[in-house]
Amino acid sequence: MMLNWMRANLFSSWGNSLLTLISLWLVWVIGSGIVEWALIDAIFTGDNREACLVPGAGACWPYVGAKWNQFIYGRYPLESQWRVDLIFAMGAGALIPSMIEGMRGRRWFVLFLLLPFPVITYVLLTGGMFGLAEISSDLWGGLVVTLIVAVTGIVASLPLGILLALGRQSDLPLIKAICVVFIEFWRGVPLITVLFMASVMLPLFLPDGVVIDKLLRCLIGVALFSSAYMAEVVRGGLQALPKGQTEGAQALGLSYWQSMRLIILPQALRLVIPGIVNTFIGLFKDTTLVLIIGLFDLLGIIQLTFTDAGWSTPQTHNTGYVVAAFIFWIFCFAMSRYSQRMEKRLDVTGER
Amino acid sequence: MTTPMVQIKNMHKYYGDFHVLRGIDLDVAQGERIVICGPSGSGKSTLIRCLNRLEVHQKGDITVDGITLNDDVKNIDEVRREVGMVFQHFNLFPHLTILENCTLAPIFVRHMPKKDAEERAMEYLTRVRIPDQAHKYPGELSGGQQQRVAIARALCMMPKLMLFDEPTSALDPEMIKEVLEVMVELAEDGMTMLCVTHEMGFARQVADRVIFMDEGEIVEMAPPVEFFDNPRSERTKAFLGQIM
């Protein structure tokens, strides 16, 4: 069985056999290098840099253990970190059932995530009410900031993007013009510029005494930026639908918003799920740019820990970056897989 | 005499500089069945698409069921509720089941309770002989079945007027018959119908009047017997000679 399969698929001709052998060799070279570095030569225990100074040592895992708390919470005070944990627990507790199809009460979990959850998160993280100590957003950092920026951007960009895409196709000249200008402006500006503007320029235009939190400014910037991209992705879906769908809806007497909500958008959005998720993943990774305006996201915090002399070893950088890459990869991979499942599930249209 | 279902007076339509409809005058009485034929580009589809404002006319008046079609959105909505339309390419909603396709407008436009809408939908699906497909999706049905669903979907709104825009042109020959049968039954039930079609057998069987259009004008309009056996205009004769 196995031998037959291999003969048919891997060694069917001289050329194929050669390619198979070269590929196996490449996998071996790269794979063994990684395994050697991450496991065989790696240091697993130790209290400070001394442990990882062994000549020829691989990954310095005790450094990750020592700094893990910072990776996740940034400089969020230890005694208040339970608030973040509570948010994580609530978020995961509502997200998982809301992603499972056919789950009872699924709608309520989604509703909870969209409406009360952001408010609860805001109250818990900032504090200053209900007897919670106030914690300035300057102290937030690590994975918490990465998730806040990414999730806000993702949740805000889809509805905004849909409205912009519809506006761009509107028959009303003024609305159309506003949407075109908005989209082309935000798409034409690099995200770094947007973040700089939000952190440096915007305060100059605000009246004296008005202070908007830096993180909030950054969130708004990211949301508007990604909504412009989302708008163009959605427009692609709208244009891919045959005109007959709109006409069919109109002829039945459905209003514009009804036909959009019930007929056009469900089909258009399904068509562009890959593009939407692409934008989400790009956005998730772009959150690392907030570093340049002095917010410490996951990557920023990891880089910050490099400056700790107590853990300065030849392998600290490598280890830190690998951890950052791995965490980002897990989130992006999860989004990608979930979107593929959703595509399959929503594909009800028969052949076509 | 009751007011006509459709009144068109000196109606003109342009696509940019192109003069598509050149002064159409037509009255359709309640319960009347009209077949419109003509070469492609003659404006026949455009004409019936003006009746539910899928196309906007520039000059003249159109009144449907006593409602004047102009820029007033309220009038347009009102007319569309009373006028059903069947398209060449069915235009079913592929992401909804057959039943959902049929109940959508009654629920959202007529604000019918879901249960009543489903009952009515099943009734019409039975009439077009596909009640057993109700829970399938359009993509799983044959072209003829899809077009019959499209007819049922329009009927679920209880329209006073049905427009057919070349309903059999996109179908394989063996499926044309099943759709025409449904249309004949509908005509026998007294529905007011305007059909753009080249099915001359259908025209002979059910039409009260047959209209021949060419270059944006109504060239000839007569009861089928007269139209087919004794056409007056040369253009009509030439056209009939080509298609018969």
Residue A177 has a pLDDT of 94
B230: which residues sit within 8 A by CB, 6+ positions away? none
Domains and CATH numbers, chain A: 143-352 (1.10.3720.10)
A244 contact residues in B (CB cutoff 8 A): 87, 89-91
The larger pLDDT score, comparing residue B211 to residue A129, is at: B211
Instruction: Inform me whether the C-beta atom of residue A257 falls under 8 Å from chain B C-beta atoms.
Output: no
Please state whether beta strands B59-64 and B67-68 pair in parallel, antiparallel, or not at all (unpaired). Answer: antiparallel
Q: How many CB pairs under 8 A join A and B?
A: 74
Chain A nearest-CA distance from B153, in A, is 9
Residue A162 has a pLDDT of 94
Structure token pair of residue A253: 């007497």
Instruction: Inform me whether the C-beta atom of residue B154 falls under 8 Å from chain A C-beta atoms.
Output: yes
- Separation between Cα atoms, residue A89 and residue A129, nearest integer Å: 21
The larger pLDDT score, comparing residue B8 to residue A205, is at: B8
Closest alpha carbon within chain B to A269: B95
CA distances from A168 to A239, A255, A276 (A): 12, 19, 18
User: Which of B87, B95, B109 is facing A348, going by the closest CB pair?
Assistant: B95
| β-sheet bridge partners, residue A300 | none
Structure token pair of residue A72: 């996740």
Q: Considering only CA atoms, which of B7, B194, B26, B111 is closest in space to residue A254?
A: B111
Residue A94 has a pLDDT of 84
Chain B nearest-CA distance from A180, in A, is 25
Chain B nearest-CA distance from A283, in A, is 29
Running DSSP on this structure, what letter comes out for residue A198?
Answer: I
8 Å CB contact of A351 and B109 = no
Mean pLDDT over B7-22 rounds to 93
8 Å CB contact of A352 and B137 = no
List the pLDDT tens digit at each of the 352 positions of chain A. 788 888 888 888 888 889 989 999 999 999 988 888 888 777 778 788 777 777 887 888 888 777 888 888 888 888 778 888 888 888 888 888 888 777 777 888 888 888 888 888 888 877 777 877 777 777 888 888 899 889 889 889 999 999 999 999 988 999 999 999 999 999 999 988 888 888 887 777 777 777 778 888 888 888 999 999 999 999 999 999 999 999 999 999 999 999 999 999 999 998 898 899 989 999 988 888 888 888 888 888 888 888 888 788 888 888 889 888 999 999 999 999 988 888 888 776 544 3
B206, B184 Cβ separation under 8 angstroms: yes
- Separation between Cα atoms, residue A232 and residue A321, nearest integer Å: 33
CA distances from A236 to A180, A227, A228, A241, B195 (A): 15, 14, 13, 9, 35
8 Å CB contact of B91 and A247 = yes
pLDDT at B161 > cutoff 90: yes
Find which of A252, A345, A347, A349 to mutate to test the B interface (most B CBs within 10 Å of its CB): A252
Q: Determine phi and psi for B67, rounding to 5 degrees.
A: -105, 130
8 Å CB contact of A349 and B95 = yes
% of chain B exceeding 70 in pLDDT? 99
Q: Considering only CA atoms, which of A73, A221, A227, A238 is closest in space to residue A140?
A: A73
User: Which of B80, B89, B109 is facing A244, going by the closest CB pair?
Assistant: B89
Instruction: Inform me whether the C-beta atom of residue A243 falls under 8 Å from chain B C-beta atoms.
Output: no
Confidence of residue B166 (pLDDT cuts 50, 70, 90): very high
- Separation between Cα atoms, residue B101 and residue B98, nearest integer Å: 5
pLDDT at B91 > cutoff 90: yes
Phi-psi category of residue B41: left, alpha or beta, with phi > 0 → left and psi -120 to 50 → alpha: left
- Separation between Cα atoms, residue A52 and residue A45, nearest integer Å: 9
Residue A352 has a pLDDT of 39
Instruction: Inform me whether the C-beta atom of residue B160 falls under 8 Å from chain A C-beta atoms.
Output: no
- Separation between Cα atoms, residue A340 and residue A349, nearest integer Å: 16
8 Å CB contact of A254 and B84 = no
Residue that is written with structure tokens 């990891």 in the block: A302
Query: Long-range contacts for A300-305 (Cβ within 8 Å, ≥24 apart)?
Result: A300/A141, A300/A145, A301/A70, A301/A71, A301/A74, A301/A141, A301/A142, A302/A67, A302/A71, A304/A70, A305/A63, A305/A67, A305/A70, A305/A71
| β-sheet bridge partners, residue B26 | B8
Find which of B89, B102, B108, B137 to mutate to test the A interface (most A CBs within 10 Å of its CB): B108
| Angle, alpha carbons B35-B36-B38 (nearest 5°) | 140
- Separation between Cα atoms, residue A65 and residue A68, nearest integer Å: 5
User: Which of A253, A262, A346 is facing B157, going by the closest CB pair?
Assistant: A253
Closest alpha carbon within chain B to A255: B77
Closest alpha carbon within chain A to B162: A251
Closest alpha carbon within chain B to A348: B95
ipTM of the complex: 0.91
Chain A nearest-CA distance from B103, in A, is 11
Chain B nearest-CA distance from A332, in A, is 28
Residue A351 has a pLDDT of 43
B57, B21 Cβ separation under 8 angstroms: yes
Running DSSP on this structure, what letter comes out for residue B54?
Answer: S
Instruction: Inform me whether the C-beta atom of residue B140 falls under 8 Å from chain A C-beta atoms.
Output: yes
Chain A nearest-CA distance from B43, in A, is 18
Q: Considering only CA atoms, which of A84, A44, A50, A35 is closest in space to residue A62?
A: A44
8 Å CB contact of A349 and B81 = no
- Separation between Cα atoms, residue A6 and residue A12, nearest integer Å: 8
CA A224 remoteness from chain centre:
15
